[in-house]
Structure 1
Amino acid sequence: MASTQAEPSAKPMSEKQRLKLEKFAKKKEKQEQEALLKPQQAVGSSREKKSKEQNAPAVELKDWVEETPAGHRKILKSLDDDFHKAYLPKVVESAWYSYWEKQGMFKPRTEEDGSLKPKGKYVIAIPPPNVTGKLHIGHALALSLEDTLIRWHRMRQFSTLYIPGCDHAGIATQAVVEKQLAKTPKNGKSKRQDFTRAEFVQLCQDWKEDYHEAINNTVRKLGVSVDWSREAFTMSPELSKAVTETFIQLHSEGLIYRANRLVHWSCRLSTALSSLEVNQKELEGTTKLDVPGYDRKIEFGTLTYFKYQIEGSDKTIEVATTRPETMLGDTGIAVHPQDDRYKDFVGKTAQHPIIPGRKLRIVADEYVDKEFGTGAVKLTPAHDHNDFNLGKKHGLPFINILNEDGTFNSNAGPYAGEKRFNARYGVIEELKKLGLYTRQESNKMVVPICSRSGDIVEPLLKPQWWMRMESLTKPAIDVVESGELVIRPEVQKRQYLQWMRNLQDWCLSRQLWWGHQIPAYFVSIVGENSGDDADDNYWVCGRTESEAREKAEQKFPGKKVTLKRDKDVLDTWFSSGLWPFSTLGWPDKTADLEKYFPTTTLETGWDIIPFWVSRMIMFSLKLTGKVPFTEVFCHGLIRDSEGRKMSKSLGNVIDPIDIIDGISLDGLHQKLLQGNLVQSEVKTAEKYQKKNFPQGIPEIGADALRFSLINYTQSSGSDINFDIKTMHGYRKFCNKIYQATKYVLSKLGDDFVPRECSALTGKESLPERWILMKMNAAMKEINQALEEREFAKSTQISYRYLYDELFDVYIENSKSIISDGTPEEARSAKDTLYTAIESGLRMVAPFMPFLTEELWQRLPRRPGDNTSSITTANYPEYESSFHDPRSEVAYELILGCSKGIRSLLSDYAVKDKGLAYISPLNQLSHDVISVQLSTIQSLSGKIPVDINILNVGEISPTGCAVFPVSADANVFLEVKDRIQDARKEAEKFKAKLTEARRDQEDIDSITAELSKVQDKVVAEAMQSAERRKRDVGATLRALEETVTMFEKMII
């Protein structure tokens, strides 16, 4: 055998070779994927119709009631019961969750002394959903992936902990509560300001309680195995303590400071926003947009040109802006130092045409783009981020013209009290009257929009609390670059590093009522003028007011002081950034923190890496000295079937409960009316629902939903286009598992007792050895796929094993062995049947917890096995004794021959007795086929057919159509008396020949390139390509002979 070790002179794989290998792999993957989906698409296939029609329940599901008391092991009814004849998700998925929970199966399992299991720990702190509303399909995706990993590790005997909880979601929750108040006033009060702070916080708390219950209900319905005894909430006393402690510690170290700087301001919500809460809307040019609080659409994407008069001169300088109203806050003009047009203006001042006495200093700065607009830039340092920096650099005045509600203040002169965009039009008209307006033109631009209110976001100068990020970023970069913390996929690692290297200081303050009120107090000294609110020197922090007072008295000894607590709350990301360790008891040194921190995996969407993931890493390294988790896996975002982002206003946001239980179209419409959508949004959403769910959503069940979502998830983290038809296909897969297990139970009989272990006896038939080999291979591949977070691959492997190999092949083949074989052969077939189905159920248990538990509980246990639930059973692992490639090859040949016979009988519509020939292409194949002829016969379908085996080298029979099986055999069917036109048959096989030649060219090209490389990466692909090359070569020869034969028959 040739060595696979690389020679010293071997060349590394070139990019061209890698691309060819990738092309080959993708083609193979596509073929496998298409094969995988065929049964799902064949909605009306006969094998599905059997179970669906024969086992349809006689009683409506609405009459069914679960009799099992909550927390008890489920009462399993007979499979002949009306509600158990067919797979009904509501029946199968009932009772099990409360049983698992009551039995403590979701708690970490440890050794008797409380130490971790020998394999160690596996811990996930659930990314806490916001209490703003019910969970959506994106949450279901994350929960399905996380629970799969938890259940898989639990079954592999790790000490697993899955921590549940919710996030208070400050601005998001306050926004929805305010929107609800506006729609449905409470006691005549329709605005937050109509309530005291305490009253409004209680309204938010009531909202939280309602949706917290709904969220937990969905988590349970999905079968998510969290430890409810450790449930956390970001505003609980325990986690609030962690927030306070963090703020005080970082403020004392100088990392948190007070400063008057620009923030993203929502006038509608009257609060600062994080970057995540600002959507950047790109405009190609002049566009009119709806803005909350305005009766007319407001124009954006327009560049307005106007002139400033140079003081003491008749000359003017022309500027351009997309926000003409901000000229009321202008304090300077900037030009490029090398711009000859304005060289004489630098150092002079311009007169403000609307604000009497206001002078604008003209400065030179290389920041200015000479080619944009007029080359002169108006500067509004208090209302533009770039102007802010230039204002600081050149010492310009900072004049704030904006009130928090979006009206102008007294600094805006005659426009004081005006709404900002009404003032826009007023300013333009005034400039026209003064003869200073020159023109307008369409301009491509980006408009910042508040994601919560739809309002246009304004840069606003406000004293706020900030966190210095520079010293925190380096350690957070180092742990990722060193591999101590792994981020998958690689593209998200790159995004994280790029973000961290450009991180600015973080604005912590939010002008809200719902959230963690900042533990900072402003100090006023009695008898003295009040200090500057932006001056950190006048602020102290404390866990309580008395502690803060003590600090203030130490800071100002001998002075009488008064304290006023900051009304603002902290950005939600501050508390959620502490989540991985605050949920385990930090800042206290708890047993949980000692045992289970750092956590293991964070599974999340890629879109919040910069906002949440990065902050958790920085906080954890700073406060605990450890990474918060060792792995981050980023899944793609779920979009609708048209590839659009999911949005309530589009109607494409799907409640997982509606997929699990099913819902009518009218039910979907009613849910829209219960939300906060305006009438126009309701109409848009209804239109989408009618188009995509004309009959509503059928009952899919939690298991099929989970399996679908996991199967959608590629290791590349690519986005997902959600389609309910795919999920319905996997419901059929659940039905197939249910019906196949019912069949196995019927064949095993009530008195069947499994052998003590699944080890081979040496008496297994070829089909038995084949299915055990396939089962073993699937176990190895699934474990490897889950280890590599190749979720889609893991579900595809399990589907292939159960559906294609166990159900469609071995179960069919075992029927004749059990009914016609000797008692010993029948017993062996039953033992293998038991091993194959029982292992298969454990194999898919992490994906489908309810269905597998329901069926596994009906199977008898092996002697000595007292496991009470599949939840805690051992996950199947690879057994070297089952590895039997010779049996695999032999049985694949048998399956190929029987498939060829079925295919030819179907192609030529043979209804009566057919005559088939099998032509082995080598002696080993001849021997296998001869011994297994009865098996081939039994697998060749119901149409009677005589099968003759040719000798190796024997001339192919004439008047026959061919089915090339592989490089080991061909199958022929006599058709000379069944065809009307030999020419037509010749053309049909010529087309197949052309296709085979294209395959040969592709494979020759790939193998030629791969043969130049000695690399372990390509070894497996090379072997596969060589096998395929041999098979295609045999196919070409068989097709060429058949074409020649049919051409000779042409009259």
Structure 2
Amino acid sequence: MKSYITRYNHKKIEERWLSYWEEKGFPHAGVNPSKEPYTISMPPPNVTDILHLGHALNITIQDIYIRWKRIQGYEALWVPGIDHASIATQVVVEKQLPEGKTKEDIGREKFLEMLWNWVGEKKSYILGQLKRLGCSADFRRTKFTLDPDLSIAVREAFVRLYEKGLIYRGDYVVNWCPRCQTALSNEEVEYEEKNGKLYYIRYRIPDTGYRMPDTGCRMPDYLVVATTRPETMLGDTALAVHPDDKRYKEYIGTYVILPLMNRQIPIIADFLVDPKFGTGVVKVTPAHDANDFEIGNKNGLEKIIIMDKRGKINENGGKYAGLSREEAREAIVEDLKKEGLLEKVKPYKHSIGHCYRCHIAIEPYLSRQWFVKMRDLAKPAIDAVEKGEIKFYPKRWKNVYLAWMKNIRDWCISRQLWWGHPMPVWYCQNEKCPTFGGIPSPRDKMQNGVIVAAEKPEKCPYCGGDNLVQDPDVLDTWFSAWLWPFSTLDWPKKTPEFNYFYPTDLLVTGPEIIFFWVARMIMAGYFFTGSHPFRNVYIHGTVRDRIGRKMSKSLGNGIDPLDIIEQYGTDALRFSILAVAGEGQDPRIEERTFELGRNFCNKLWNAKRLLEMLKEEHKEAHCEPDLADKWISSRLSGVIRDVERALQRYRLHEAVMCMYDFFWHEYCDFYLEIIKKSGHIEIGYYIFENLLRLLHPFMPFITEELYSGESSIMVSGYPKPVKKDREAEEIFGTAIEIITDIRNAKTSFNIPVKEKIPVYIEFENLDIIKSYIIFLAFVSEFIPSRPQKGIRRASHNYEIIIPLVGVIDIEKEKARIEKKISTLKALLQKTKKNLSNKEFMR
């Protein structure tokens, strides 16, 4: 390596080492009985993604751990991959269709061909981005969630769950996206607080001559119901009150007339009603509200669907048919006013669910979907975390996980999309088959005679017919994702690689997908493999801008990591982002954040150049280690221990700053200055090379470039600490404190740092450190007697006095200090005045 003689150029270095790693096949892992395995399954970025700083943080953390274990001698496997992202991908490609055309216009086969072509281009781009981030995954093992082998795993998983009675089909109110025209799981709905309205609607009570038992008075003319969604009243099939609400006990069992539709509906009692909401009387729309669906089932109410899948009013909505949800609301409110049935409208702030992909407001919608029963699957996953078999870092996420798992609901897994894993479900089209048209068969009443199989059956098991059609839906993206830790290692086959590398060791992810993905993977691991899928879960923070806002396209505050790499380099990006990312905290980042990493790279580069120059000057000089050599060697050992401890505890910020402080403030500020004079280059080199190996997992490119070994630094072996030299650290540590105190005193009194001055020092081991103080603090002489006046600095084991007479112009310095005091007093008065001004404090 000769490039140290030139200026640091990250672009050339990164290009060279990316080519080298690829050419040499680094890294590649395989079954090796002589080594202990270490495995990470990369959370696959969506194929629609353009990698952002959040990805950069996530990938960097994983890469650190895989490189750390690799350099320690483990057989370290990092499996990369990309997710097919059903909804997101289909939405993106649909937007690329010619104007006025829909996917139905061009047909399923042609549309899927478009999708595969688009995905092929995107996969290559994403893998290229990962490599530029220094990602040392085994790219020969790259997986895509729609790969044939992963599709086999998905179908096998579905069949096993179905055969155990854990997958079922039923009619339920689900979260429906009118834009994507598919069902969504609860975790795919994002809630936003919105300023809306609460409409108070009068439901007329027919005059039946009935009189109230308590008073003998006639029933009132109407009951008032408060709702945020007047358009759904078209599907009301009851009003409900709380059974213990004394205001309405006499109304239970009577009827009202549904406004505008003139349909008679009953008044029922149910404990789900909140008597404090609105008037205490609620409308029940079983086909368009999850709670109302439950009330409807308990009370045998009719379920009237009043919208189509596009969110428009259907034929059940009478004259409002064809209107959008928003248009119907306006028309209905206007008609209620005309008929005197709208009592009042009040402002009301409430939470509205939106599709996590297209951000359109979701519609609670009654439809037939496939579900996974989650409660039985959750039990072993809860036990594993409670017993410590799986650990969360930071620990607080354990409680978040457990709270959600203990209140888990069934998972809607069917999606009305074209892009994704087809449902492994078939239906017989033979009219003579007992299952034709959804007629329940004696064998399988609950599932209406569906045929579930990993491969398409040749014949119907019910009638022997061969006219079978596959369910048109696809599976939720997360159904393939929850199998990821083991499906990427050849499951359901039990290959040597599966047995060697599974279970995996670490999952690194963000907090937003603990429920989407982390919890489901744990459940899947125990159900399908009988084991935890990973041992440790590290939840990193969310990258934010300098004022704490989440980075997003809409705010325009995002930073493209490729722009940062272009300007500062990958190593600078990785080092900087970790330096500001405390354990589990949300790092606040702006462009100048990356100057820290860039400056550190330059410092490393210049240190190597200096070592090379000193090597030429001192040639093969061999010297016995002196105090400074013993101190720096002992300090390196301490840093190795501290970094290892921080990595074991998933405190990467601590590891980064530990290495930064050691290299910058101890090795460079003191030790390099000393060996310029002492010529102890051999030890200086030894410390630098070990520091490079320690830094390599964090900064792979520059450490490869500066490392002097014959092969790649990634297989050079991790540095091992030696026994701590307490005496050397204590004595030379005191020397550093003394030197620092003298330097600071000079600065305080405007004495040039390199101006030699006399000092008085009282310290037990002064004779041992005198030469270092003379050289590094620019001391002219050591005063034997304690001066009466001077600048005094002291610690528990030393005292320093610097006489000022003859060193500084005392009158001039006194004037400077008095001027500074005067300026500060004026500033203090101004601040007090501002603080007492109420207008200023607003």
Q: Distance in 1 between matches of 2:205 and 2:3?
A: 95
Provide the residue aligned with 1:303 in structure 2: 198
Query: Is 1:208 matched up with 2:119?
Result: yes
Counterpart secondary structure, 2:760: strand
Match of 1:320 in 2: 226
Q: Distance in 2 between matches of 1:913 and 1:368?
A: 83
Q: Given the superposition, is the C-alpha separation of residues 132 and 267 from structure 1 closer, same or farther in structure 2, using an over 3 Å criterion?
A: same
Shift of 1:962: 2.2
1:252 matched to 2:170:
no
Q: CA deviation at 1:370?
A: 2.3
Equivalent residue, structure 2, for 1:175: 91
Shift of 1:752: 5.7
CA distance in 1, matches of 2:603, 2:103: 55
Gap runs ≥5 in structure 1: 1-75, 288-300, 662-698, 756-760, 819-828, 862-866, 992-1051
Specify whether residues 281 and 78 from structure 1 end up closer, same or farther in structure 2 by C-alpha distance, changes over 3 A only. closer
Partner of 2:533: 628
Please state if 1:329 is matched with 2:235: yes
**Residues 170 and 752 (structure 1), Cα distance of their counterparts in 2 relative to 1, 3 Å cut:** farther
The alpha carbon displacement at 1:123 in A equals: 0.5
1:792-849 residue CA offsets vs partner (Å, 9 max, x unmatched): 010111111111111111000111112xxxxxxxxxx111111111111111011011
Equivalent position to 2:293, from 378, 388, 400: 388
Structure 1 counterpart of 2:334, from 419, 425, 429:
429
What is the one-letter code of the residue matched to 1:873?
S
SS of aligned partner of 1:443 = strand
Q: Does 1:155 align with 2:71?
A: yes
Partner residue in 1 for 2:215: none
SS of 2:199's equivalent in the other structure is strand
1:709 Cα deviation from its structure 2 partner:
2.0
1:413-812 mapped onto 2 (5 Å cutoff): 413-527=318-432, 530-531=437-438, 536-547=447-458, 549=459, 552-553=460-461, 556-557=462-463, 560=465, 562-661=467-566, 699-715=567-583, 717-749=584-616, 763-812=624-673
Alpha carbons 1:327, 1:380 under 8 Å: kept: yes
732-741 or 359-368, larger mean C-alpha shift: 359-368
Aligned to 2:797, which of 967, 971, 996?
A: 967
Counterpart contact for 1:965–1:971, Cα < 8 Å: no
Q: Is contact 1:311–1:348 with CA below 8 Å preserved after alignment?
A: no
CA contact (8 A) 2:792 2:799 kept: no
Distance 1:92 1:344, change over 3 A: same
Aligned to 2:827: none
In structure 1, what is the Cα distance between the partners aligned to 2:563 and 2:821?
51
Taking a change above 3 Å as real, the CA distance of residues 832 and 560 of structure 1, as seen in their structure-2 partners, is closer
Cα separation, partners in 2 of 1:600 and 1:310, compared to 1, 3 Å: same
Q: How does 1:921-932 map to 2 (within 5 A)?
A: 925-926=763-764, 928-932=765-769
Query: Closer, same or farther in 2 for the Cα pair 1:228/1:983, shift >3 Å?
Result: closer
After superposition, give the CA deviation of every residue in 1:387-438 in whole Å (9 maximum; x if it has no partner). 1111111111111111001111111111111111101111112222222211
Corresponding residue SS for 1:363: strand
2:84 is the counterpart of 1:132: no
CA distance in 2, matches of 1:774, 1:343: 79
Provide the C-alpha distance between the structure 2 equivalents of 1:463 and 1:909, rounded to a whole number of angstroms: 81
Aligned to 1:695: none
Cα deviation, 1:54-106, whole Å, max 9, x if unaligned, reads xxxxxxxxxxxxxxxxxxxxxx45544xxx2x211102222212322332331
Counterpart of 2:17, as a letter, is W
Output the CA distance in 2 between the equivalents of 1:706 and 1:581. Answer: 29
Give the deviation of 1:989 after TM superposition: 14
State the alpha-carbon separation in 2 of the partners of residues 409 and 836 from structure 1: 76
Residue 969 of structure 1: CA displacement?
Answer: 2.5
Identity of aligned residues (%): 39
Superposed CA deviations along residues 664-690 of structure 1, whole A, max 9, x for unmatched, are xxxxxxxxxxxxxxxxxxxxxxxxxxx
CA contact (8 A) 2:377 2:523 kept: yes
TM-score by length of 2: 0.91
Structure 2 Cα separation of the partners of residues 532 and 175 of structure 1: 35
- CA distance 1:782–1:638, change in 2 (3 Å): same
The alignment of Structure 1 onto Structure 2 pairs a total of residues equal to 803
Deviation string, structure 1 residues 525-583 (Cα, Å, up to 9, x no partner): 41577226996123111233335x3xx33xx34x7574321111100000000000000
Amino acid paired to 1:888:
E
932-941 vs 791-800, greater mean Cα deviation: 932-941
Tell me whether 375-384 or 900-909 shows the greater mean CA deviation: 900-909
Q: Deviations over 1:427-482 (max 9, x none)?
A: 11222222221111111211112232221111000100001011101000011111
For residues 346 and 754 of structure 1, do their structure 2 counterparts lie closer, same or farther at Cα, with a shift above 3 Å needed? farther
Report if the CA contact (8 A) 2:4-2:605 is conserved. Answer: no
- Structure 2 unaligned blocks of 5 or more: 209-219, 823-842
Supply the distance in 2 between the matched residues of 1:453 and 1:931 (Cα, whole angstroms): 71
Is the partner of 1:648 in helix, strand or coil? coil
d(CA) in 2 for partners of 1:832, 1:965: 31
Q: How many angstroms apart in 1 are the aligned matches of 2:751 and 2:414? A: 79
CA contact (8 A) 1:914 1:974 kept: no
CA, structure 1 residues 322+843, in 2 after alignment: closer, same or farther (shift >3 Å)? same
Matching residue's letter, 1:115: P
Distance 2:675 2:411 in 1: 66
Cα distance in 1 between the residues matched to 2:465 and 2:632:
86
Q: CA distance change for structure 1 residues 325 and 851 in 2, over 3 Å: closer, same or farther?
A: same
Displacement of 1:637 in angstroms is 0.8
Q: Which residue of 1 aligns with 2:705?
A: 854
User: In the alignment, what sits opposite 1:96?
Assistant: 17
Distance 2:144 2:803 in 1: 70
Separation in 1 of the partners of 2:126 and 2:396?
Answer: 31
**Counterpart Cα distance in 2 of 1:989 and 1:918:** 29
Structure 2 residue aligned with 1:893: 734
Instruction: Please give the per-residue CA displacement for 1:609-646, whole angstroms capped at 9, x wherever unaligned.
Output: 11101111111110111110111111011111221112
**One-letter amino acid of the counterpart of residue 687, structure 2:** A
The two structures have a TM-score, normalised by structure 1, of 0.74
1:836 alignment partner in structure 2: 687
Q: State the distance in 1 between where 2:314 and 2:466 align.
A: 32
Asked if the contact 1:915–1:946 (Cα under 8 Å) also holds between the matched residues in 2, the reply is: yes
Query: For the Cα contact (< 8 Å) 2:696–2:714, is it kept in 1?
Result: yes
Shift in Å, 1:967 = 3.1
Distance 1:588 1:340 in 2: 64
User: What CA distance in whole angstroms lies between the structure 2 residues aligned with 1:751 and 1:400?
Assistant: 88
Local SS of the residue matching 1:425: helix
Distance in 1, matches of 2:466 and 2:253, equals 46
C-alpha distance in structure 2 between counterparts of 1:381 and 1:435, whole Å: 26
Compared CA separation, residues 97 and 983, structure 1 to 2 (3 A): closer
Task: State the 1:241 CA deviation.
Answer: 0.6
For residues 523 and 434 of structure 1, the distance between their equivalents in structure 2, rounded to whole angstroms, comes to 52
The aligned counterpart of 1:400 is: 305
Match of 1:939 in 2: 776
CA contact (8 A) 2:787 2:803 kept: no
The CA distance in 2 between the partners of 1:467 and 1:779, in whole Å, is 48
Say yes or no: does 1:910 pair with 2:751: yes
1:990–1:876 distance in 2 versus 1, CA, 3 Å: farther
Q: Give the Å deviation of 1:116.
A: 4.3
Deviation at 1:948, TM superposition (A): 1.6
- Tell me the distance in 2 between the aligned counterparts of 1:513 and 1:109: 37
